[in-house]
């Protein structure tokens, strides 16, 4: 049905996975134990991201870029769990599974899925590539963590050795995110070359920004307007110029 309205097969799959993820996120927000949905939500996010990337870049590049981002994310998470660098001292609970070396596999997958989306945002904002694209992509991916870390901490999926200034999350975490996100942008860019633009991935990034904002503002109990505003404004600061430049082409 979706292919009849002008969407390619991969893009149509991306839309279906995205809609399923949105429905599951709504269900998790209304459930007494939202952490039970986290793994499946990430799987659907990843499926949507890879499908949209395949439509924009071709299946081989999409899978290769995703795999490179996942391996990068997993390697740094493993170093982080073992040494505390670069995020600060933290540990995962046993809620997310399976785990390898104390790192849940869905965490590595999330680096890959949102890494592709953030790279597409950066490619739209900085079509010329280079270090400017890496910096924008790193910022776009780190902006998502303004939602992610407070949500996961309140759900008990991981804990910090010491409380930080932002809903218990230390400043070192965001410095680490910028560093790792830049690495993810570099490896994805190495696979994609001068490409990387894809409106499906922009839709995914925007949907995540809107849904997380609404969830923290009105769905989660208790609501958290600080996180809703901080995350919504920051992700929006990357999504809006990406859409503006995308539509001008």
Is 135 within the bounds of a domain? yes
Residues β-bridged to residue 156: none
Structural domain span for residue 196: 62-248
**pLDDT, tens only, 215-238:** 999 999 899 999 999 999 999 999
Is 218 within the bounds of a domain? yes
Is 25 within the bounds of a domain? no
Residue 188, CA atoms < 13 Å, CB-side half-sphere: 37
**Phi-psi map region of 195: left, alpha, beta (phi>0 left; psi -120 to 50 alpha):** beta
Is 7 within the bounds of a domain? no
Is 157 within the bounds of a domain? yes
Is 112 within the bounds of a domain? yes
pLDDT at 33: 86
**pLDDT, tens only, 7-66:** 789 999 999 999 999 999 999 878 878 888 999 999 999 999 999 999 999 999 999 999
- Distance separating alpha carbons of residues 107 and 114, to the nearest angstrom: 11
Per the prediction, the chain carries an average pLDDT of 94
**pLDDT, tens only, 112-131:** 999 999 999 999 999 988 99
Contacts of 120 (CB under 8 A, 6+ apart): 52, 53, 56, 196, 197, 198, 201, 202, 205, 242
Q: How many domains does the chain have?
A: 1
Is residue 5 scored above 70 in pLDDT?
no
Q: Rg of the chain's alpha carbons, rounded to an integer?
A: 17
């Amino acid at each position: 049905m979706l292919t009849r309205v002008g969407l390619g097969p991969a893009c149509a799959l991306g839309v279906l996975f995205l809609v399923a993820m949105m429905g599951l996120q709504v269900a998790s927000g209304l459930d007494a134990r939202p952490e039970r949905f986290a793994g499946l939500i990430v799987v659907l996010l990843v499926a949507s991201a890879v499908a949209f990337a395949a439509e924009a870049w071709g299946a081989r590049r999409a899978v290769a870029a995703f795999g490179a981002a996942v391996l990068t994310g997993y390697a740094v998470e493993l170093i982080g769990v073992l040494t505390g660098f670069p995020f600060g001292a933290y540990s995962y609970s046993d809620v997310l599974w399976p785990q390898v070396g104390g790192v849940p596999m869905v965490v590595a997958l999330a680096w890959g899925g949102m890494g592709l989306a953030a790279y597409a945002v950066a490619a739209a904002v900085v079509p010329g590539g280079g270090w400017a694209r890496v910096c924008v992509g790193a910022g776009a991916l780190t902006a998502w963590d303004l939602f992610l870390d407070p949500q996961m901490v309140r759900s008990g999926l991981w804990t910090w050795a010491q409380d930080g200034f932002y809903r218990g999350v230390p400043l070192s975490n965001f410095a680490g995110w910028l560093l790792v996100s830049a690495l993810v942008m570099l490896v994805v860019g190495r696979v994609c070359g001068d490409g990387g633009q894809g409106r499906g991935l922009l839709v995914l990034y925007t949907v995540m920004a809107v849904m997380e904002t609404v969830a923290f503002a009105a769905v989660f109990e208790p609501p958290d307007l600080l996180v809703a505003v901080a995350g919504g404004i920051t992700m929006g600061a990357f999504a809006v110029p990406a859409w503006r430049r995308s539509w001008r082409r």
